[in-house]
């Protein structure tokens, strides 16, 4: 217990964890687990849940929980020392799981258990876990000959190291860029709170003026609001060439991308698949690359006319009203904001004043409390919850009777050393560890975003102000969190998000986004930072009118990325005559209406597929959006248009959130919606429905 990473009695002890704890803890857990697996292998008893699956689950959960804390800290408080220790231990953890996935003796025991009479007496969740294990052993190379197993193992270790390096390079490239401006005249148009943050960054470093970074809360407002075209271009060039050959050579992700693709292709061939996309789809709702490409192609055809209209309007406005001539990539966000202001008579900056964090969080919590019959509260100060940064918040979820359901950490603000973007990750998963109500291990989640922190203006600390897009992001990640936290499954392998098909895992998150456009929700979660007034009906009506502003461009952009990902992992030949960038250029020529400048190196920062879990799976966002829009349409159709309805909410919780991965996602969707999904609601929500 002296090593906090070996203490599984409660919540992580973040304040106690030191880098010197990591290697001894991981070394001990790996040794313990290998000894347990050896005992399981040697056991001659007929494999059963209690003598086989349960001990494996217990051992692997301890390792997973410890490593999850290390991975999380590496993502949110990254330092050179922590990164070095993380990357030193990563190959050992990867090797353990890869070896486990190839273990012939364990594979045979799972086969025996599947064919035993006991299998039929197990509950459905446990049956699903066994079926998933058999599938994953096959995907893990368990059926390969010994020499090929060794090579397969090396591939897994190398892929893991390459993905980590990809993310490190991107973080270093993002952190390294600072644009220092001393002349206030160059900064016209940029909002006051953004300028104040930039001034604080400069002041902390003892410099005059303002300093801007490539982190989203600094970069995006410059692109969106700065009147200075040269300033926008400078920021855009730096952002779009991160971790490429146009940046520092030691951070160039190009060779890593090529190596990752080669190894994935080799892995697929070893497993008997034609391409890596087929490996990826083996655990998803979609069955073949062709099915995905056809799905994306159909969406692209429907979206393109709207995207062409959006671009035409943008170009004409930029030329006639702003005298910009030919629109460049660094003009798009700026002209879009000016056009939005001209057409709908409101700006994002005006809207932002109505979304202080102090109103948004209680409003979001109130919504889900009413939908799902839960209560969300911070713990008492004496609870002694350990956090990794002073800005982090912690909350508990209880049922109406006061029993604990789950807990979550909320880390909202961007800062140096923190990975960009937003995400949810699990710290602890729900499962049964004893008898009765007290025998349930409550789930715990990390919810992470990168918003602007509160700033001091005129001597007063103002709460963080969120753009409406940021509110949508927050709701999205909270949807993931609720999927993890509101599960009722008591077996780890399919509890919460575990075991859910990847292209369905975005359903609960995208479903939550819809509430950000409902009047009855926004009335209760908006309060002007100065006046305290809720968002005026007239302003909300303008926002609603602008909801599908440039939805064609946005949808086509996501389709472009998804097609690029699927093509990379299905019919692209790494090491061939065509480069990764050339493939993307080719796809853009086919589907895009906006072609970025030649220096743009988007693949080098596409961490979803090269540094995360979305390889041959980026299409999942659009696939799940069909599910989420269709699911939300039931709320729209029910109860005279009142979307906050406890009856429909309970049905969504029971049939989608509560069941986790214990049954196929399509089955869960049909149980909730009463039929298979349709694309109609997605098109309607995006303003693309035809009468």
* Mean pLDDT (the chain, rounded): 95
CA distance linking residue 444 with residue 427, whole number of Å: 5
3-state secondary structure of 325: coil
3-state secondary structure of 178: strand
Do residues 139 and 9 both lie within one domain?
yes
pLDDT in tens, 291-302: 999 999 999 999
CA distance linking residue 214 with residue 313, whole number of Å: 29
**DSSP annotation of 326:** S
- Whether 258 maps to a domain, the answer reads yes
Is the predicted pLDDT of residue 135 greater than 50, yes or no? Answer: yes
- Whether 516 maps to a domain, the answer reads no
**Which residues does 336 contact at the CB level (< 8 Å), separation at least 6?**
224, 314, 549, 550
- Whether 533 maps to a domain, the answer reads no
Report the b/e string of 140-151 with b at 16+ CB within 10 A. Answer: bbbebeeeebee
- Whether 24 maps to a domain, the answer reads yes
- Whether 37 maps to a domain, the answer reads yes
CA distance linking residue 168 with residue 161, whole number of Å: 11
Please state the domain count of the chain: 4
Q: In the chain, helix, strand, coil percent, each to 5? A: 60, 10, 30
Catalytic residue (choose from 337, 477, 513, 655) = 477
pTM: 0.90
Do residues 73 and 197 both lie within one domain?
no
| Residue 163, number of CB atoms within 10 A of its CB | 21
Residues shown for the chain: 691
Do residues 18 and 124 both lie within one domain?
yes
Q: Is 477 a catalytic residue?
A: yes
Distances (CA, A) of 527 to 31, 349, 358: 54, 14, 9
pLDDT value of residue 627? 96
573 phi, psi to nearest 5 deg: -110, 100
pLDDT value of residue 381? 80
CA distance linking residue 26 with residue 402, whole number of Å: 36
**DSSP annotation of 186:** G
Do residues 440 and 469 both lie within one domain?
yes
Q: Which of 384, 364, 557, 555 is nearest to 471 (CA)?
A: 364
Rounded to the nearest angstrom, the gap between the alpha carbon of residue 75 and the centroid of all alpha carbons in its chain is 13
% of the chain with per-residue pLDDT over 90: 93
pLDDT in tens, 556-586: 999 999 999 999 999 999 989 999 999 999 9
Do residues 83 and 202 both lie within one domain?
no
First CA to last CA across the chain, in angstroms?
65
**Which residues does 320 contact at the CB level (< 8 Å), separation at least 6?**
none
Do residues 16 and 137 both lie within one domain?
yes
Residue 319: exposure state from Cβ atoms within 10 A (0-12, 13-18, ≥19) = middle
Element housing 301 (H / E):
helix 289-320
Q: Which of 337, 268, 252 is nearest to 601 (CA)?
A: 252
pLDDT value of residue 691? 38
Do residues 306 and 368 both lie within one domain?
no
Domain of 102, CATH number, reads: 1.20.1050.40
Q: Which of 330, 129, 299, 375 is nearest to 234 (CA)?
A: 330
- Whether 427 maps to a domain, the answer reads yes
Contact in structure between 496 and 529 (CB atoms under 8 Å): no
* Counts of helices then strands in the chain (DSSP H, E): 27, 11
Do residues 59 and 134 both lie within one domain?
yes
Domain stops at, among 576, 596, 618: 618
pLDDT value of residue 690? 58
* pLDDT range class, residue 473, cuts 50, 70, 90: very high
Residues of the domain holding 31: 4-143
Do residues 63 and 94 both lie within one domain?
yes
- In this prediction, residues 447-455 reach a mean pLDDT of 94
Distances (CA, A) of 684 to 301, 479, 625, 626, 681: 15, 22, 12, 11, 5
Is the predicted pLDDT of residue 239 greater than 90, yes or no? Answer: yes
pLDDT value of residue 382? 67
Contact in structure between 645 and 635 (CB atoms under 8 Å): yes
User: Residue 458: left (phi > 0), alpha (psi -120 to 50), or beta?
Assistant: left
Q: Which of 51, 156, 142 is nearest to 103 (CA)?
A: 142
Do residues 365 and 341 both lie within one domain?
no
CA distance linking residue 558 with residue 592, whole number of Å: 10
- Whether 535 maps to a domain, the answer reads no
Domain stops at, among 586, 618, 650: 618
Contact in structure between 485 and 405 (CB atoms under 8 Å): yes
Domain of 439, CATH number, reads: 3.40.390.10
Distances (CA, A) of 633 to 345, 515, 627, 639, 685: 29, 11, 10, 12, 9
pLDDT value of residue 475? 98
CA distance linking residue 666 with residue 648, whole number of Å: 18
Do residues 339 and 377 both lie within one domain?
no
- Whether 598 maps to a domain, the answer reads yes
How many Cα neighbours within 13 Å face the side chain of 524?
14
pLDDT in tens, 28-86: 999 999 999 999 999 999 999 999 999 999 999 999 999 999 999 999 999 999 999 99
Domain stops at, among 598, 618, 638: 618
pLDDT value of residue 1? 57
310 phi, psi to nearest 5 deg: -60, -45
Contact in structure between 443 and 397 (CB atoms under 8 Å): no
Do residues 361 and 455 both lie within one domain?
yes
**What is 597-617 written as a DSSP string?**
-TT--GGGG-HHHHTSS-TTT
Q: Which of 423, 458, 224, 464 is nearest to 340 (CA)?
A: 224
**DSSP annotation of 465:** B
């Amino acid at each position: 217990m002296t090593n906090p990473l070996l203490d599984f009695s409660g919540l992580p002890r973040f304040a106690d964890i030191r880098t010197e704890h990591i290697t001894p803890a991981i070394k001990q857990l790996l040794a313990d687990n290998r000894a347990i697996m050896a005992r399981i292998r040697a056991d001659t008893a007929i494999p059963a849940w209690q003598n086989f699956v349960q001990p494996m689950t217990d051992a692997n959960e301890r390792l997973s929980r410890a490593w999850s804390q290390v991975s999380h800290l590496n993502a949110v408080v990254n330092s050179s020392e922590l990164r070095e220790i993380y990357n030193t231990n990563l190959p050992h953890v990867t090797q353990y799981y890869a070896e486990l996935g190839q273990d012939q003796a364990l594979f045979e025991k799972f086969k025996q258990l599947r064919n035993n009479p006991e299998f039929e007496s197990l509950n459905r969740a446990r049956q699903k876990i066994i079926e998933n294990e058999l599938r994953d052993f096959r995907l893990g190379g368990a059926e390969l000959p010994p020499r090929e197993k060794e090579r397969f193992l090396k591939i897994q270790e190398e892929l893991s190291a390459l993905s980590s390096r990809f993310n490190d390079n991107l973080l270093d490239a993002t952190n390294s860029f600072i644009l220092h401006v001393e002349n206030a005249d160059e900064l016209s148009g940029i909002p006051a709170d953004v300028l104040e943050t930039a001034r604080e960054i400069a002041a902390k470093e003892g410099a005059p003026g303002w300093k801007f970074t490539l982190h989203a809360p600094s970069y995006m407002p410059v692109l969106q609001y700065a009147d200075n075209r040269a300033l926008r271009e400078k920021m855009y060039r730096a952002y779009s060439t991160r971790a490429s050959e146009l940046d520092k050579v030691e951070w160039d992700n190009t060779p890593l991308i090529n190596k990752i693709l080669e190894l994935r292709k080799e892995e697929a061939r070893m497993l008997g698949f034609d391409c890596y996309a087929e490996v990826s789809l083996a655990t998803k709702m979609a069955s073949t690359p062709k099915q995905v490409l056809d799905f994306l192609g159909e969406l692209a055809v429907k979206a393109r006319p709207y995207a062409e209209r959006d671009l035409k309007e943008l170009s004409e406005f930029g030329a006639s009203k702003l005298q910009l001539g030919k629109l460049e990539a660094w003009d798009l966000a700026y002209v879009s904001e000016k056009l939005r202001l001209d057409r709908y008579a409101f700006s994002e900056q005006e809207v932002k004043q109505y979304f202080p964090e102090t109103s948004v969080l209680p409003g979001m919590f109130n919504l889900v409390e009413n939908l799902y019959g839960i209560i969300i509260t911070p713990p008492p100060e004496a609870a002694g919850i350990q956090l990794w940064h002073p800005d982090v918040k912690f909350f508990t979820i209880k049922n109406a009777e006061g029993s604990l359901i789950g807990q979550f950490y909320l880390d909202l603000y961007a800062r140096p050393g923190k990975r960009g973007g937003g995400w949810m990750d699990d710290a602890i998963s729900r499962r049964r560890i004893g008898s009765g109500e007290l025998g349930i291990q409550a789930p715990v989640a990390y919810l992470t975003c990168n918003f602007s922190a509160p700033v001091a203006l005129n001597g007063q600390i103002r709460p963080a102000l969120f753009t409406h897009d940021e509110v949508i992001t927050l709701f999205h990640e909270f949807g993931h969190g609720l999927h993890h936290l509101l599960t009722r499954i008591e077996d780890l392998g399919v509890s919460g998000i575990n075991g859910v098909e990847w292209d369905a895992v975005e359903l609960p998150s995208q479903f939550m986004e819809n509430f950000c456009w409902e009047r009855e929700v926004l009335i209760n979660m908006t309060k002007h930072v100065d006046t305290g007034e809720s968002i005026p009906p007239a302003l909300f009506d303008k926002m609603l009118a602008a909801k599908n502003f440039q939805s064609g461009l946005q949808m086509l952009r996501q389709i472009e990325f998804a097609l690029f990902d699927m093509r990379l992992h299905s019919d692209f030949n790494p090491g061939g005559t065509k480069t990764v960038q050339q493939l993307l250029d080719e796809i853009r020529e086919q589907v895009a209406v906006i072609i970025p400048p030649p220096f743009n190196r988007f693949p080098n920062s596409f961490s979803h597929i090269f540094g995360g879990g979305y390889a041959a799976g980026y299409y999942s966002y659009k696939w799940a959006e069909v599910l989420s829009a269709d699911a939300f349409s039931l709320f729209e159709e029910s109860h005279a248009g009142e979307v906050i309805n406890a009856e429909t909410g309970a049905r969504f919780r029971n049939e989608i959130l509560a069941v986790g991965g214990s049954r196929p996602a399509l089955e869960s969707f049909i149980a909730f919606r009463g039929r298979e999904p349709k694309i109609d609601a997605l098109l309607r929500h995006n303003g693309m429905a035809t009468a």
